[in-house]
C-alpha cells in the first residue's frame, strides 16, 4: 500500500516483503529507484521506518510504515544524452588554435553537466564561445572534452575543436602518453623528498561516492600510479609536485591520504586525519578550515599536438586561494 504527500511516499510492508533488507524493499517498490539510490537515501536519513532512521541492512517487518522521497534522481545517462545548452561564461583561456582549446579551470566549476550541476559548466561555456565543438565527442553533454578535473580541483583542462583532434587527444590519454603535473598542499611533512605510490584504487565498499586505495586481492580494483616530490617544507605541512601516469577518480587525493598526507581542505579524504593533526595547533586548524576546497591544482600538461605532432606544454599559474594559503603557512607555521 502507498500514500503520497507530494514530497514523500509512504510505503506499508506486506507479509510477502517481510525479511527484505530496507534498501531492497525500497528498490522493489519505487519505480526507477536503483539499489545505489536507495542506499544514498538511507544514508542521508531520507528513508524513515516508523519515523526512525534505519541502516540499509535493516530487515523489514510486515506492517512497517516506510517513508521515502517522492522523486527519483534523473539517471546520469539521461543527462549525458541531453542536448547541451550553451551559456556565455567567462573562461580563462590558456591556449587556443584551430585544433585545441586549453582552459585554466577555476575551483568550484564543474566540467560538464551532471546531477545537481546542470548549468554553469565548462562544457556550456566552451559551446558558447566555440559552437563548432558541439558535435565533437562521444556525448552531447561533453563536447570536445577529452579528460576531466574534479569540481574543486583547478588548473589545466584540454578540449578539442575538431574530430581529428578529439580522436588524437583521447587516444593519448588512453595510452597514458600525456604528462600531467599537479601542485598539492598537504598536511604533515613526508619523511622522504620523493616517492611513488602504486596502491590499486577501488570504489569504497560502504560509501559509493568515495574511492579507496589498498592492496586487497578480494576487491575489484584498478592499477594506479602517483609520483610525488617535495617542493617546499613547512613545520606541519608541505607543498608537493605530483605526477600521475594513470587517471583514476580522485587518484591523487586518495593516494596522498593513504600515505598519511591528505590534501589540505579535502573534506572527503582528509577530515579525520586533519582533526588529529590540528588538535594541538590552533594556527594550523584555522588555516585548514579556511580552505574551502582541496588545495590541488593541475599545474602543467604536455602532449603531442594532434595536427603538427610537436610537443605542446601548457602551464596554469597557481590560483589566488592557493597563493594565500602558502603565504599563511609561511607566516604562521613555517619552521
- 28 backbone dihedrals φ, ψ, rounded to 5°: -70, -25
Using alpha carbons, list the distances in angstroms from residue 138 to 134, 141, 268, 314. 11, 9, 30, 25
- Using alpha carbons, select from 128, 129, 85, 92 the residue that is nearest to residue 109: 92
Using alpha carbons, list the distances in angstroms from residue 109 to 121, 202, 203, 242, 268. 6, 25, 24, 22, 18
Does residue 266 contact residue 272 with C-beta atoms inside 8 Å?
Answer: no
Does residue 265 contact residue 277 with C-beta atoms inside 8 Å?
Answer: no
Please give the grid coordinates belonging to residue 220: 575489484
SS3 251: helix
Catalytic center residues: 150
Cα distance between residue 115 and residue 75, in whole Å: 8
Please name the residues in contact with 334: beta carbons below 8 A apart, sequence gap of 6 or more: 234, 235
Cα distance between residue 111 and residue 130, in whole Å: 15
Cα distance between residue 246 and residue 253, in whole Å: 13
Amino acid at each position: 500500500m502507498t500514500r503520497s504527500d507530494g514530497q514523500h511516499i509512504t510505503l506499508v510492508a506486506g507479509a510477502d516483503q517481510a525479511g527484505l533488507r530496507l534498501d531492497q524493499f525500497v528498490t522493489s517498490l519505487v519505480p526507477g529507484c536503483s539499489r545505489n539510490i536507495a542506499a544514498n537515501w538511507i544514508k542521508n536519513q531520507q528513508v524513515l521506518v516508523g519515523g526512525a532512521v534505519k541502516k540499509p541492512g535493516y530487515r523489514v517487518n510486515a506492517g512497517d510504515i516506510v517513508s521515502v522521497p517522492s522523486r527519483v534522481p534523473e539517471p546520469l545517462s539521461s543527462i549525458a544524452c541531453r542536448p547541451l545548452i550553451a551559456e556565455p561564461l567567462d573562461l580563462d583561456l590558456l591556449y587556443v588554435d584551430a585544433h585545441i582549446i586549453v582552459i585554466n579551470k577555476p575551483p568550484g566549476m564543474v566540467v560538464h553537466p551532471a546531477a545537481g550541476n546542470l548549468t554553469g559548466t565548462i562544457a556550456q561555456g566552451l559551446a558558447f564561445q566555440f559552437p563548432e565543438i558541439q558535435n565533437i565527442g562521444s556525448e552531447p553533454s561533453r563536447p570536445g572534452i577529452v579528460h576531466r578535473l574534479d569540481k574543486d580541483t583547478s588548473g589545466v583542462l584540454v578540449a578539442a575543436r575538431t574530430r581529428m583532434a578529439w580522436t588524437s587527444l583521447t587516444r593519448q590519454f588512453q595510452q597514458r602518453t600525456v604528462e600531467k603535473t599537479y601542485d598539492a598542499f598537504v598536511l604533515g611533512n613526508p619523511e622522504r623528498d620523493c616517492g611513488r605510490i602504486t596502491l590499486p584504487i577501488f570504489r569504497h565498499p560502504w560509501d559509493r561516492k568515495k574511492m579507496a586505495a589498498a592492496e586487497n586481492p578480494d576487491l575489484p580494483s584498478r592499477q594506479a600510479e602517483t609520483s610525488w616530490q617535495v617542493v617546499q617544507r613547512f613545520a606541519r605541512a608541505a607543498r608537493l609536485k605530483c605526477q600521475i601516469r594513470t587517471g583514476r577518480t580522485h587518484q591523487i587525493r586518495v593516494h596522498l591520504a593513504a600515505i598519511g598526507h591528505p590534501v589540505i581542505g579535502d573534506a572527503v579524504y582528509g577530515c579525520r586525519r586533519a582533526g588529529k593533526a590540528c588538535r594541538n595547533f590552533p594556527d594550523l586548524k584555522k588555516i585548514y578550515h579556511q580552505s574551502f576546497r582541496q588545495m590541488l591544482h593541475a599545474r602543467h600538461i604536455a602532449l603531442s599536438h594532434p595536427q603538427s605532432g610537436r610537443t605542446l606544454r601548457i602551464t596554469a599559474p597557481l590560483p589566488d586561494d592557493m597563493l594565500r594559503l602558502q603565504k599563511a603557512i609561511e607566516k604562521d607555521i613555517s619552521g
